[in-house]
Structure 1
Amino acid sequence: MTERLRDGMRIALKNSPWKQIMVLPGTESRSKSNVMLPDGRTDIPLAFVEIFLRTQEHDPHAIIECKRIAGSDTHLCREYVVEGMDRFIQEKYGENHAIGFMVGYVLAGVPSESADGVNAYLRRVSRSVDRLAPSDISDGTWQSLHARSKPSMPIRLQHAFLGFAGTSASRT
């Protein structure tokens, strides 16, 4: 699913004014420079060509983490948080970023049920402060704001839950 999303993003960029963005393949990453072995694998790293050419900075400029999700599946909701959101919160991804991106592939139900399922998990584990709230960016998207170990560097995550045509998950 992630490969198809990546391919679609590349096709969309060919016909847009954002041609200076590179949609890179998933890569192993190190959360800190003193970490010797990769401790994460980003699903869709994005890089801006101009910034890369100017700074020779090899780290991605934005990261999209992708997870399977269904609001009624407590295991998938937990994985979305623990193996997705927490990688940003714990600075495994985007340590120097103020924003990160999550995509949920909705396997059953509708996108809003997936957001509700993630929020239900967060309430069960006493993390209501990390809840997803509707985003003002577009319909069908959510956002969350999280404190990190550096108090001055919180991270805002933008969440999109993608349904598939021909299933109940395609309804919003």
Structure 2
Amino acid sequence: MIPFKGRKSLGPPRLLSRTDLIRVILRLQFEGWKSALQTDPTLKPDQNEPYMNGRLFQGMVQVRTAMGLTNIFIMEKPGVRPTPGPALPEAEPDVIVLITEFGANEPHAIIECKRVDPLENPKRLRGKYVRAGMDRFIKGLYGPDHDIDFMVAYVLDGDEPAALKDINIYLRNVKRPSDSLLVMTSLNSIGFVAHSGHVRTVDNRPFRLLH
């Protein structure tokens, strides 16, 4: 349970840096996926990405309800506006998380989901993970005011360390070693979590992604 009762507001979304909040969001991801795998025997690596995203969303909602987190709202495939002006959303991340105590009418955490397969040949998915995933945050399309956001990597074959290595090889190949992923051993109790540090191109502000 998030210890909000009796505390003052934690501020706007960009200040989402509390360890307990981050751990709760990661738990929703990992336990939500576990729930999805248990309830849907057809959830296999050959399923398409939107199907996986839908099951992850349903699993996260189920876990949220079981944990009694009534102050957290999870939304599937919503539109977001990096700037307030446009009438139509400019981007559509896979999942967003809203926390009522923050009070702002915008996502407090954005989760972009991509498939990866360190054993695939030819290599396609690792580049897509970067270009259609990480780069959307780096370019300010997702979470332009956030200090931290999230990506989910569906590892179709191999294991998580191999997937991390594969993504990092791609980043080195395209001369972007500073965007490499590093393992976060402090979160081993939740699952295999990596982090990467970036500078947003639109305003040169640093931020982190948790993978």
TM-score, structure 1 length as denominator?
0.83
- In structure 2, distance between residues paired with 1:123 and 1:35: 36
**Residue correspondence of structure 1 range 68-79 to structure 2 within 5 A:** 68-73=115-120, 74-79=123-128
Offset from partner CA, 1:119-159 (integer Å, 9 cap, x none): 000000000000000013224110000011323x3110000
Q: Which amino acid aligns with 1:95?
A: P
Corresponding pairs, count: 154
Partner of residue 93, structure 1: 142
Q: Identity over aligned residues, as a percent?
A: 36
- In structure 2, distance between residues paired with 1:37 and 1:13: 30
Partner of residue 33, structure 1: 84
User: Helix, strand or coil for the counterpart of 1:19?
Assistant: coil
* Unpaired stretches in structure 2, ≥5 consecutive residues: 1-51
Partner of residue 137, structure 1: 187
Higher strand share: 1
- In structure 2, distance between residues paired with 1:36 and 1:18: 32
Aligned-residue CA RMSD (Å):
1.5
Residue 38 of structure 1: how far off its partner (Å): 2.8
Match of 1:121 among 163, 167, 170: 170
User: Helix, strand or coil for the counterpart of 1:28?
Assistant: coil
Partner of residue 164, structure 1: none
Higher mean displacement: 62-71 or 12-21: 12-21
User: Helix, strand or coil for the counterpart of 1:157?
Assistant: strand
